Amino acid sequence: EIVLTQSPGTLSLSPGERATLSCRASQSVSSTYLAWYQHKPGQAPRLLVYRASTRATGIPDRFSGSGSGTDFTLTIGRLEPEDFAVYYCQLYGSSPPHTFGQGTKLDIK
């Protein structure tokens, strides 16, 4: 089973700053099957990026995904107040389980 490890566990930044979130796979994976989600308390998760770099419908262009092999990154170009949340990467290819990383909490500094 492939394990996804996200870092940092918590990222404290101010609105207007740039956020860089990392997701590392325990073995090389196809970028076709890597997604990022945003999750706020009391709400359902929201798909941000899939295929490692394709933004989902309606997602602002300040969100961008990149990476390949074992290392993937979600970048939020200029933080808005509504961006403070928990972010998860997910691998949805090949055999189940379609693992999630443990999450990165982005909070306001």
Partner 1 sequence: QVQLVQSGAEVKKPGASVKVSCKASGYIFTSYDITWVRQAPGQGLEWVGWISTYKGNSNFALEFQDRITMTTDTSTSTAFLELRSLKSDDTAVYYCARSLLRGELSPLSDWGQGTLVTVSS
Which parts of this chain interact with partner 1 (CB under 8 A)? 33, 35, 37, 39, 44-47, 50, 56-57, 86, 88, 90, 92-94, 96-103
Structure tokens at 100: 């999630």
Residues 107, 97: Cα–Cα separation, whole Å: 29
Report, in Å, the least distance between residue 56 CB and partner 1. 7
Structure tokens at 30: 């196809």
Report, in Å, the least distance between residue 60 CB and partner 1. 17
Report, in Å, the least distance between residue 16 CB and partner 1. 28
CA 56, 60, 66, 71 torsion: positive or negative?
A: negative
